[in-house]
Structure formats: structure tokens, C-alpha cells
Structure 1
Amino acid sequence: MAKTDDLIKRIQDNYTKLSKSQKIIAEYIINHYDKAAFMTAAKLGASINISESTVVRFANTLGYNGYPELQNALQELIKNKLTTVQRLEMTEETDEIAILNNVLKADIENIKETINEINKDDFRRVVSDIINATKIYIIGSRSSIVIAEYLGFYLNLIRENVSVVKAGVSDVFEQILRVSENDLVIGIGFPRYSKRTLDVLKYAKSQNAKIVTITDSLISPLTSVADEILIAKSNMASFVDSLVAPLSLVNALVVAVGLREKEKIADTFEKLESIWDEYGVYFSKPN
């Protein structure tokens, strides 16, 4: 299938050959793509008094293998366009237990899709990149900073010279000023993608650093400068970004790096355990 961002163009190119009912569907999608993206074929048809089978035939006419593929294209299309307010307005469910079920099921599906779609060779290469880098910079903006901080916390227990680049007293460019060709920069970004993250990656690329991106799609803008790409699905169930699959991917990276460096980090963790006991960092186990 072609890039999902050509959906509107597909509709425009095929408009004259559509039936009268299909033209109604096309116009509804163009004008209400934010709502249509989360409707089943039956619900979309019901909203404009057209049969479900006509909606399915419309998807086929546009070259999609059924309505689910068209719906995926719609969801990809809106990732960069919907504001948080619009996402909130799309959430029609009000029953708390139904919301709980829907969100957990969506996160489970994101993890399943990540397992199926991630490139295993790329994953192995990124583990090697982390181990071999002189210095590691991790950049993530907005909600992605949560993943960046998490990855940075654990990599700092395994490796030296790991820095999480984030807004603060100094600008992000000042923090990454001395990046060089022996360094690794890990850029993390999910819809709505942060332009600042991409700008930092472009600067690092200009300094010949190796770039790894952790993102949700090969058409993510962060992939334009990447040497290695790790895909983790983050399809949203509502106005809140889904970070479950990205965090699982980061967990896997940390474990894989740690096991490669198992002997080297054993002393580090023994020393940490001693410090934690001495200063009472954790509650003691009951006798």
C-alpha cells in the first residue's frame, strides 16, 4: 500500500468514478476525517444513511484491501493534524469500565503490532550501537520525555556518559554542542511529533553522529535523518498518547544491553546495593 498520507489524493483522483452513495462517503471523510477515523464501517454508514456494504465497496474502489486498511490510513492521516481538544471531542464513551477495557485493549494491540512489525536486525544493531558509542545523548520532547528519561535512567546504570537532552536552564543545542562522530543520539518522538526533537537530530547528523529514532511509523518525520529506526506502535485510544508499546521496546533495549554487559555491570550493581542498604534507600524486608 502507498503511503497513508495520500488518502485524500486517492479520493480526489477517483471522485468522478464514484457512485452517488460513494461520493457522499468521500465528502463525509474529507470534511469529518477526525471522526471517521474511529468509526466502524457500519457506524460510518449509519451516520450518513448508507449501507455498511457500500462503505466497504468504497474502500475497495480507492484501492484498499477492505475497510480496516482505509481506517488505518485515516488514523495515520490525523496523527499530526488533530489537536488535543479534537481528540477529546472524538471520545464518545462515558462509562468508566468501558473506557478501562478500551484503553487496555488498545495498548495490548499496540504491543502485538510492535512485536510483529519491528525489524529484529535493526534492534540488534541498535543494541550494538549503544554498547559501542563513546557518548550517548537521548532526546524526547513533550510526552516523549517520559520515555527518554526512563531510558536514560537505566542506561546510566549500565553505561557511562549517558545524557538526556531536555529543556532547562540551558538550551537543548547547548547540551548537545560537542556531539561527534563517535557518539550516538537516540531521538524519541510520537504524534504529535516535536519539531524541536527533529531539529536536534538534524544538528547531530551534521556533526556525523549516529542517529537512532524510536517512533511509530516509517513516515514519521524523525526517520528522515535516522541511521537506524525502531518502530513502536502508539495508536491512540483517546486524547492521551499511548506510550505502553514504546516503553516496552525501551525495556527490551535496556535488558538486551545489560545482558551483553553482564559481567561488566555486576560490580556496579553490587556497589549500588551496598549504598542503598547503607542509606536506607528502600524499605527493608521484614525479618
Structure 2
Amino acid sequence: PVALYAAYSFGKIRNSVEYLSLSSLDILGRLQNLGPEDTAMVIGMPRYPKQTVDLMKILSGKKVRIALITHSEFSPLIKDADAALTLPISYHRFTDGLSPLICLINAFALDLYNENKNEADKCLGFFESLSKVVFTDPK
């Protein structure tokens, strides 16, 4: 869910942002076009879903640069990552693991926006025009 939220947030301010999941029916065609010029942000937290582990192996094999967000430097996913950011998470309640990740994604989105405001504003403009079609008032 956090990766989907990240793709949604980054896609509002950047072109060519995609959410990848091995459970998606069109994943093979999308993976086929990836290579060394692409970067994937992977969010891998315990219990490390098999689909995440397998997707990282595929991306690594295609020489896609992998930026990993994980909970510890002992994460088994680090070996396939080009860069890793560790974000220790404590679970006092079942939702606790999502809050720090969502805050981090929001910070990344703001940084991406500030990196190229002209491109981001164009993307946001398109998003707003599309949202008027998708979310019209039924009156």
C-alpha cells in the first residue's frame, strides 16, 4: 500500500512513474522495457513478501538502479540494492509501520517537486485537469 501511495504521489509531479507489482497482469510487458537508465524505489519491510524479493531480483538482473527503503541494515534485500535507507519501525499497534513510511514518501515528493518546479507544475496541472473529469460533482 505504501508503494502504491508513493507511485500516486510521485506521479502527480513527475512523468513516467509506475507502480510495479508481480501480481499485476501487465507486469511482463512493463518489466521488458526497464534497464540501467531506470531507477526503482523498493519498500521492503519484514516479513519481506516473496513478490518483493522476486521483483528485486528481476530488477537487479536487468541492471535497474534500486533505491531500497527497509527497516535495518540486516535486511536480506540490501544485497540487491544500489542504495539503501534504513527506517527503523516499532510496532506498538498494527498501523504503526505505515506512519513513518508515509511521512518519508511525502518528504521525498516535496524534494522531487523542489528539484524541478516547472516540470512538477506541468504534471500537477495535468493531474488537476484529469481530476475534474474523474471526480466531477454528480449534481
TM-score strictly above 0.5: yes
Checking the alignment, whether the CA contact within 8 Å between 1:187 and 1:211 is kept in structure 2 is yes
Report the equivalent of 1:234: 89
Q: Deviations over 1:182-212 (max 9, x none)?
A: 1112111111111221221122112211111
1:274 Cα offset (Å): 4.5
How do residues 120-139 of structure 1 correspond to structure 2 at under 5 angstroms?
none
Give 1:187-226 correspondences, 5 Å limit.
187-226=42-81
Instruction: Give the 3-state SS of the residue equivalent to 1:151 in structure 2.
Output: helix
Cα distance, 1:260–1:236 mapped onto 2, change above 3 Å: same
After TM superposition, list the pairs within 5 Å mapping 1:262-281 onto structure 2.
262-277=117-132, 279=133, 281=135
TM-score computed with the length of structure 1 as normaliser: 0.43
Percent identical residues: 25
Which letter does structure 1 place at the counterpart of 2:44? G
SS at match of 1:214: strand
Pick the aligned partner of 2:111 from 252, 256, 280.
256
The question of whether the paired residues in 1 share the 8 Å contact of 2:14 and 2:119 is answered with no
**Structure 1 stretches of 5 or more lacking a match?**
1-145
* Other-structure match for 2:15: 160
SS at match of 1:186: strand
Find the residue that maps to 2:77 and give its secondary structure.
Answer: helix
1:240 deviates by 4.9
Counterpart of 1:281, as a letter, is F
Change (3 A) 1:239 1:262: closer
Work out which of the residue numbers 30, 35, 38 in structure 2 matches 1:180. Answer: 35
Q: How many angstroms apart in 2 are the aligned matches of 1:192 and 1:183?
A: 26
* CA distance in 2: counterparts of 1:275 and 1:207, whole angstroms: 33
Give the helix-richer structure, 1 or 2.
1
Give yes or no for contact 1:233–1:246 (8 Å, CA) kept in 2.
no
Listed as ranges, the gaps of 5+ residues in structure 2 are: none
Q: Judging changes above 3 Å, is the alpha-carbon distance between structure 1 residues 239 and 210 closer, same or farther for their aligned structure 2 residues?
A: same
Residue in structure 2 matching 1:247, options 97, 102, 108:
102
Deviation of 1:276 (Å) = 4.2
1:250, distance to aligned residue in structure 2 (A): 0.8
| Residue type at the aligned position of 2:135 | V
Q: Secondary structure at the match of 1:230?
A: strand
Amino acid in the other structure paired with 2:25: V
Higher relative contact order (CA 8 A, sep 6+): 2
Instruction: Tell me how far 1:169 sits from its aligned partner.
Output: 2.5
**What secondary structure, in the 3-state scheme, does the structure 2 residue paired with 1:158 have?**
coil
CA RMSD of aligned residues (A): 2.3
Structure of greater Rg:
1
Change beyond 3 A, Cα 1:182–1:271:
closer
